[in-house]
Structures are given as structure tokens and as C-alpha cells.
Chain A
């Protein structure tokens, strides 16, 4: 992990309140990043914003030395990040946390389940899985049509289902409705999204091994401040989301 200044190559809106930023990052740093890891971003200089914002890695382009992040404008900090322009630089802690341990797993067919702003880290994961010739099925859930992004990206890799809660696009309902309706065959699942969705996914897929990625308000982002914790399954201890996670085995934590 290191502190680095990254110049914005381009920044654009890709869905409602949803920004995609490509950042120029040194190749040797990019090489170390695993899918599921995040960068911890300074909002700006000065003292108004004292906390960084944790944002998942959505993609890496080694050749062009680009790191892609996607974030949703949620509060004052992300609103300021959204108005940055190409050519400006952002201060990053990179890379943070533990990613999806795909190198250690024997996977034939993976089910990726993303909800809202939980979708981006699954894209880099999907690409890395495809590179290893693992078949990928993606299941992306959004609130409404205006929120949908990255469908074509995932379709280029494998079968992709999109759901919206209001039915304005794709399946009407939530991701677990698709799991129930479609007879999906897979041996591992990987999920990232709101806690309510992760709980439903955990409950629906108890018989499958899986990994989930959690989010929480963070302080330091490196494991020193104990702000972002989640109880272990037995409730006897806490895991640090920024350092032990954000990716956990589905049965490792109590959400």
C-alpha cells in the first residue's frame, strides 16, 4: 500500500448520480491490485474534508496504465469528487484491503451478484475470472432504469441478467428473484451490494460457497482506527472491513 497522486485521464457520468473515473497509475502499482480491493481517496486538499472515501477498483487497463473507479454521488464529499476534471490529480491510498482470492479457488462457473454501486468491483473480478477461462454469469440489480450501468461490459464476458426494483428495465424485482426463477448452475458465488441484498443472497445461497464484499463508513482505511468493523459469525470478535475485508467468505461474518 502506498500514497500516490493519480492524474485523471477522463471522468464521465455513466448513470444517475454515478461517475466513472479513469486514473493514470504506475504499472508496478497496478500489477499488485486484486479484484475486490479498493482505493482510499482524498476529497481535496485543505481541512474541510478530513476523511478519505473508500472506492472499489472497477477495472484495470495495464497497457494504458489506467485504473477505473465508479462511485455514486452520495454526500458532500462525493459531490466534490464528481466535479473533478481530466488533468487534475487525486491523492490515493492504493491498494487497500483484501480482494477475492480467485487464485486459490478451483472454480468452473462463477455467479456474480451485484447491487447498485456494488456492481463495479465485480466487473474487474469478471474480467480476471474470464482470463482464467472460468465461465461467468452476472446478475446486476438496480433501483430503476436510470441507475443501470455496465450491462454491456458484463454481457461481453458472459450471460448477464439485469433487474430493477420498479421493473422499469430488465427483470422486475430483486436479484434473489432471478436466482429463484432461473435454474442457474454455478459452483461459487461472489457478491457486492447493500447489506440487505447481501443478507438475502446469503440466505438464498446457503448451500454454495461464496464471497461477499462489505462497505462501511471508514476512517483510516488501513486498519488503525477500528471504525469499520463487522462481527464475526460467532459474534465473539470483530473483523476490520478495511484490512481483513472488504471481501469475506460468506459464512465468515455476521451481517
Chain B
């Protein structure tokens, strides 16, 4: 049996597989399909300081090998999440990563500060890359100096490691990655969705009510692999990789590119059992590609054997 464990700042993972934020709510729905303790970790849906209702519908559209979404950070607010959602997740043996979102640096700080009162989270995923809200979020992810500032402030406001979620909607992702590393980020998660649009031919207008949405699914996997590959060479902090994973071969490819662990998002919608199935099949896949462990495969796609 290969060793699937990975140790990252704040995260002692029994395997490198976790559901991606926004695709798994707070776990209740998927717990009806399998025991959440099987997972390496859980990235829960974004929390903002106050309750947010999100965008009008339609909020999703299928595209070739992927989908567009523009949910708009609908969530009950960080306090309600701490009181009503996290206790359920604490009944499982699985580290929880809280996704922190906001419109201003102060909001990010206040969410991070609020999360100090719970023991239920092991790390923060700092969401500076949601493309679906008009104010905030994404501008912090596209400008290195803003990304650095929000990282520094959230680091100072929280008591758990902070992983910064990077946006692929930038000219040079390496520049942003280095900026947040210097600002004290403990790790990176990448990539968030790519901004896209679908037009309804009959109605002659964008299909999503928000007009634009975030593209996810297998269609974006080559972009994610390329970006992780580049960032891995430029930073020393660990990367949790995501973007279109649907199989164990995809997981291995992310590890080779430089991810230390991976998150699965869109594929949960097609197959609610996907995370559980990939965890079960991963030892076989590692063996197939001659790796003794997950750790053994990390970054091995860079031509050094």
C-alpha cells in the first residue's frame, strides 16, 4: 500500500484529495453518499462577514468539458457558518479549510478574525480570485501589491495557516504568487475559475444572469497544469492544485506539475462519489507510474527524474 499522506502547514492530510470550495457546500449533502472522514481535507464554501444572497439565476451553464458558474458568493455569513455548519464537520475526522472572501481588506480581516473563535478549522483559503462579484475579491487577485497587502493583513488577523487562492485571469501568475509568498502566505491554492461567457442563441443575450461566469471542469486543466508548473519553479511554499480533475491520472499530473495536494470541484456534480473513488484508486495509480508515495511524485514533472 503506497503512502498517501502529505504534511502541509496546518494540514496533516491522510491523502491528498479534497473537495474544492464552492462545490461541496459545508459537506452535509455529500455525507449522504460517503463518510467525509475518508477525505484528505474539506474546502468549505466561501464565508463573508455578513450573509450574501448571491446573483440572480441562471447561475450555471454547461460548456464543452466544463461549466460556467456565477453563484456570487451566496453564504449565510461567517458567524452562522461557525455556529451552524462547522459543528457538523467536527463530527468527522477531517481537516477543514475555510474559504475567506470579502469586498474590502477590512472585510477579509474581520472574517479571518471571526474564525479565530472556532477550533473547527485547520487553515484558511484566502479567496482573492472570485470572478463573480462586482465588488472585491478579484481585484485583490490581479494586482500583486493588493494581493500582498490583503495576505499580510489576513495573516496578522488569523491564528491558522493561510493559503492564498490565485486567479488565472492575470497576465503573469508567477508575479502574484511571489508577491503573496513574500507577504507571508503559508501556501497557494490554484487555480480559481477562468472568466468566460456563453450566449443564448435563441434569446440573443448572455445565458448567465450575471453575464460572465467562472469556467471550470476538464476544459481548464491544461491552464491549471501550466500555471502550477510555472509557479512551482518560482516559490518555495506548497501548492494545492485544482482545475478540471476527474481521474487518478489527472491527480498524478497535478502532483508532477508541483501540487502537493489537489482539490476536486466540478467533477463532484457529475459523480457525487468522485473524491471517494479517486482516493480508493490512487494507490494503484501511484504504483502504475512507479511512485512509492504521493510525496514521491510531487514536482517530478520538471525533468529531474
Contacts and interface: CB of A to CB of B under 8 A. Distances in A.
Contact of A50 (B24, B29, B66): B66
Interface string A125-159: 00000000000000000000000000000000000
B184 interface: no
Contact of A52 (B45, B74, B269, B273): B269
Contacts of B57: 216-217, 227-230
A224 B268 contact: yes
Contacts of A3: 33, 271-273
B69 A227 contact: yes
B54 A1 contact: no
A48 B67 CA distance: 10
A166 B53 CA distance: 40
A47 interface: yes
B87 interface: no
A222 B23 CA distance: 11
A220 B270 CA distance: 7
B267 A50 contact: yes
User: Which bucket holds chain B's interface residue count?
Assistant: 35 or more
B71 interface: yes
Contacts, number: 98
A81 to B, nearest CB: 13
A229 B54 contact: yes
A251 interface: no
A16 to B, nearest CB: 16
B53 A237 contact: yes
Nearest to A49: B62
User: Which bucket holds chain A's interface residue count?
Assistant: 20 to 34
B95 interface: no
B275 to A, nearest CB: 12
B32 A50 contact: no
Contacts of A230: 57
B25 A51 contact: no
B170 interface: no
Contact of B217 (A42, A50, A220, A226): A50
B44 to A, nearest CB: 11
Contact of B60 (A2, A51, A243): A51
Interface in B46-60: 53-54, 57-60
Interface of A: 1-3, 42, 47-52, 77, 93, 216-230, 237-238, 243
The 10 A-B pairs of least Cβ separation, nearest first, read A224-B25, A227-B60, A47-B218, A224-B29, A222-B29, A51-B62, A217-B58, A227-B59, A50-B217, A220-B269
14 contacts: A1-B32, A2-B33, A3-B271, A49-B62, A217-B61, A220-B269, A220-B272, A224-B23, A225-B60, A225-B69, A227-B60, A228-B60, A238-B53, A238-B74
